[in-house]
């Protein structure tokens, strides 16, 4: 009998916000990967077969997105010589950061989801979607 251990989810997510100015906040979506696993960047080369990380924000009349999501981490450019494809990926940790503008004085949340794929050197797991709601405080 052969026993195998399956990793349910090699990525853990944390979500937070910090106030930058009177009505401007930075929301952070932080992915931490287990050793040996990586997560793909939002931006991939044309020849990539990797599924890029993608964020979707729930419409909120009290909140306006300000610019594009930034990535902070050590970007690795991976090339698979056998398949002839490349990918932009992160190992260990990456912070995705989005500035938002709060309209008015009422406190609110930024909600949405992130869809991502993780791989190690031997396999890729199916894409997974995680919902989030981040309080602006």
**Structure confidence by residue, pLDDT tens digits, 24-56:** 999 999 999 999 999 999 999 888 888 999 999
2 located within any domain: no
Phi, psi for 25 (deg, rounded to 5): -125, 155
CA–CA separation, 27 and 12 (whole Å): 17
Residue 3 counted as domain residue? no
Could you tell me what percent of the chain has a pLDDT over 90? 75
Asked if residue 42 belongs to a domain, the reply is: yes
Phi, psi of 68 (to 5 degrees): -100, 165
Beta strands in the chain (DSSP E): 11-19, 24-33, 38-40, 54-57, 63-72, 76-80, 85-91, 93-102, 109-116, 118-119, 128-135
- Encode pLDDT of 104-134 as tens digits: 888 899 999 999 999 998 899 999 999 999 9
Which are the contacts of 69, defined by CB distance < 8 A and separation ≥ 6? 42, 55, 96, 97, 98
Residue 15 placed within a domain = yes
Predicted pLDDT of residue 7? 57
> Is residue 102 assigned to a domain?
yes
- How many structural domains comprise the chain? 1
pLDDT range class, residue 83, cuts 50, 70, 90: confident
Is position 60 within any domain?
yes
Residue 122 lies in a domain: yes
pLDDT exceeds 60 at position 6: no
- What digits encode the pLDDT tens for the residues 56-79? 999 999 999 999 999 999 999 988
**pTM for this structure?**
0.90
Can you give the pLDDT at residue 3? 43
Compute the mean pLDDT over every residue in the chain, rounded to the nearest whole number.
92
Structural domain harbouring 23: 11-131
> Can you give the CATH number for the domain in which 40 is found?
2.60.40.1250
């Amino acid at each position: 009998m052969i026993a195998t251990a399956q990793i349910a989810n090699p990525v853990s997510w944390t979500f937070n916000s910090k106030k930058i100015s009177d009505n401007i906040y930075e929301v952070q979506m932080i992915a931490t990967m287990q050793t040996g696993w990586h997560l793909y960047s939002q931006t991939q080369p044309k020849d990539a077969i990797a599924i890029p990380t993608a964020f979707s924000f729930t419409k909120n009349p009290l909140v306006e997105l300000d610019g594009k999501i930034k990535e902070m981490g050590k970007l690795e450019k991976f090339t698979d010589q056998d398949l002839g494809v490349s990918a932009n990926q992160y190992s260990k940790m990456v912070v995705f950061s989005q500035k938002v503008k709060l309209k008015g004085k009422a406190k609110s949340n930024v909600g949405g989801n992130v869809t991502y794929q993780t791989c190690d050197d031997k396999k890729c797991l199916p894409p997974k979607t995680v919902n989030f709601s981040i309080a602006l405080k």
